[in-house]
Amino acid sequence: MSLPLDGLSAIVTGAGRGLGRAEALELARLGASVVVNDYGQPGRDGTGGASATPAEEVAEEIRAAGGSAVAHHGDVADFAAARELVALAVTTYGKLDVLVNNAGILRDRMVFSMTEDEWDSVIRVHLKGHFNTTRFASAHWRERSKAAGGPVHGRIVNTSSEAFLAGSAGQPNYAAAKGGVVGLTTSTASALARYGVTANAICPRARTRMTEDVFAGFQEPADDGLDPLSPEHVAPLVGYLAAPAAAGVNGQLFVVHGGMVAVVARPQVVAQFDTEKECFSHDELDALLTSYYAGRPAGESFAATEVLGLKKR
């Protein structure tokens, strides 16, 4: 019996632990060969030999279960390393079919006290890291499509966050990066559709090493049940989006956690104001907009804070 991802190869970034690890294991379980990316070189064990990295440990876990996997230790925020990552997948497996961008870091602080490095490092790893891998994967699929004379199987699953949707006050760098990821996703979806490639984004909620402080004491698991914030609740959606069955799903944004998947609608225009003259004046805008917002709920903004209340029904 064939599996949904039989014959396909995938890259998962930041896959040494947590969410990325669960995603890599799920893709392998569904039949994909996986390049497990996680930044960091081997250290030394107690005997003086090289110790296994988290990426190597996950790759070995996949191989022990009968799958195929190799590890990659490059920094996806480095342009050359991202090129090497995609090349490794193509060299090892003959082609790349699935790219899951998951690698990320947190440097939480209020905007009025954030340092330049805290801003730059988060934007670099999340947003530039997503771009770098997408840049080389998309070029690969474009060339394959041209050679084949038609569409190929290409899937990108990007990782955004509810912090972007809800406007997380203590995460201006992270929220900005994750909002940028959504813009990158929809642009990529439009650009690559002609080649058979889809690009979608997920906003996962998962208790991992990176988020242990964020979710401390939040939705603790029952003694006999799976943690509602377990990465295993997220990985199946990634596996689905990677598969042929999701060919008609493109440029979408999902919130996923705790046995629930929510489809987020695109922004809608809720009001339009036209000047009665050639150009707006301050007084005219004051008359139109001040009264409009006076009739709106207090505290309402573009932020969709209601997503934070989503849970399995």
Contacts of residue 141, defined as CB under 8 A and 6 or more positions apart, other chains included, come to: 96, 152, 154, 192, 195, 196, 197
Which residue among the candidates 9, 33, 145, 174 is catalytic per the annotation? 174
Which residue among the candidates 9, 39, 128, 178 is catalytic per the annotation? 178
Strand partners, 253: 201, 264
218: closest CA among 98, 108, 309? 309
204: closest CA among 261, 148, 281? 261
User: CB neighbours (10 Å) of residue 72?
Assistant: 25
Q: Report the SS3 class of residue 12.
A: strand
Rg (CA), the chain: 21
Residue 146 is encoded by which pair of tokens? 């041209």
Report the distance separating Cα 311 and Cα 234, nearest Å.
13
Amino acid at 217: G
CA dist list (Å): 31 to 14, 196, 242: 20, 20, 11
187 labelled catalytic: no
How is residue 213 annotated by DSSP? T
161 labelled catalytic: yes
312 labelled catalytic: no
Which residue among the candidates 33, 138, 145, 161 is catalytic per the annotation? 161
Residue 132 is encoded by which pair of tokens? 């770098």
Residues taking part in catalysis: 161, 174, 178
